[in-house]
Structure 1
Amino acid sequence: IVLQEAVELLEPFAEITVRVQSQSVVTASLVVPSVVHLLDHVNVMKTNLRILKSMCIQLEQSIHRRFAGIVKRLHQQSVNANDRFSDHIYFVCTFLDPEFKLYWLRQMKYSPACESKMKESLIQMVLDECDYGQNRSSNNLRETLSSFSSRSIDMNDSVVQSTRTTTDKKRKLFQYDDDSNGCNVSPNSLKSPMNEINAYLNDPLRCNFSLYWKNSQLHTLKNVVKRVYSIQATSAPIERVFSRAGIIMSPRRTSMREEVFRNLVFLRMNESLI
């Protein structure tokens, strides 16, 4: 029983660790949904575990400490500059990943009012990144949210109801129901970042990240994507470079010239492209 509970409790942690250490895909957008998923997971597991309940509580407390900045934003609290993961850029990255957009908010089980406020905050973060200026109208922001507000009420009711009836059902990682209305917006109407955000949120496509933004006509958002997605979720990719470099620069190759060493490391790390 102990082993079974340990596997059920730690399985999402292992799966997320593998995902965020990927090298050939974007990972910055995984941080916030991962924290949300883990918080939801440990909250559910606390009521189901018999032996490892204290371990589950300690994991929950550890998540709150380690990702204090993200957790505070999720609960719409003030974030201190010295909080870990206090930078809002992780939320911007998640917002601009077509796999997540705003779908991950459902797992937080917000009330309709809190969800609307959170959406407004997320959109404002993206607008700030777009450097749209200081004179944005809050009315335009609410207009963008209006198409989601009515759906969010129905969505929250259904989520709460389904949660009550299927508490024991295990939630899969990063899988959300699609409730996009499928609105198509002409590229000619995209005259501002706000319009681009509106078009992006109403786009039903949830394809590969790179493919989506390669073909996207949302030029302002695309420029933000190019800038913020230089961030990686972990240092695993660069650690792999050091590991390979250590193999190349062995005690038997101490006389290797620096230029040759750099070229060998470069070729080894990019051998898949050759």
Structure 2
Amino acid sequence: MAKVTKFCSLLHSTCGLKEAFEGQYGANRSIPSAVSTRWNSTLRLVEAVTDLDPQSLNTLLEAQGHKGLCLSAREWSQLKELVEILAPFLQATDLTQGEKVVTKCGFALRSLTQQPPQQMDVSDSAQPAGDLPFGDMVYMMSALLDPSFCFFWLEQDVLAPDEVKSEVKEMIMDLVLAEARKVTILAESSSGEDNKDEEPPAKTPRLFTGYRKKSKKKDDHVSSVKAELIRYIQVCSGEEDEADCLVFWKRNAKVFPRLYLVAMRVLAVPATSAPVERVFSHGGLIMRPHRARLSARTLSSLIFLKCNHSVA
């Protein structure tokens, strides 16, 4: 392992070795760097090295003056065996990494399934769930309104009977509908305050006034929040590629106008902690020692632009 990590370090820091490596294996071939806090990155490094031809690699190292890094046949077979043993764990790590797993809904799901439906007040979507951390129901709604997760996490990752899953789905949908009613009331109250000084124009009765009212009610029923929610779930089920949450709602704001307002309110709480952790990583990369005089406002603006460049 020491030889492999040393070889990778030299490959990424020495121009001569890098040029010789690209000349031997091609410019498109590379060895990934290892991250000290990610064990799977080290395994990927070893896997990439063992995919190379051992004789040509040893010849390359000898020609570049790194004979001490050459691997013997025994060391090569040991690395191969290590990769084969840890391959299932690598796959499990990739499947459960933060970007693909709802990291906070487990607590809320536990409290939701323990509380009978008739005792749950869905009108209060922000009710606390006991003393459990992250037990607020907003985490359940944020997972539903994130197209990367929707109900996939509940169907695939939760070990529970299908009846329980169906019941939980209905509960979460009721929470979203209750939140939609809140958003509608807030929007109507704010618009009413803006227009309270304006007198409504006088309406002239027309021949087909009653017919138009019925048609309007029918259209409102079709474009209701529940209909939008059902259609949204169908769209997420048909998505082949994982969609970015903010990009998805920006693109479909007119397709789901009422649900869009709920999403913009609920998604202030992300369904997974991976984006939040990535913000701190970007901050560390931007606030380097030679840029230590950046003001807090400038640093905040740079991080915001870096993290949201895809939705600009």
Kindly indicate whether structure 1 or structure 2 has the higher relative contact order, using CA contacts under 8 Å at least 6 residues apart.
1
Structure 2 length as normaliser, TM-score? 0.43
Structure 1 length as normaliser, TM-score? 0.48
Of structures 1 and 2, the larger Rg is shown by 2
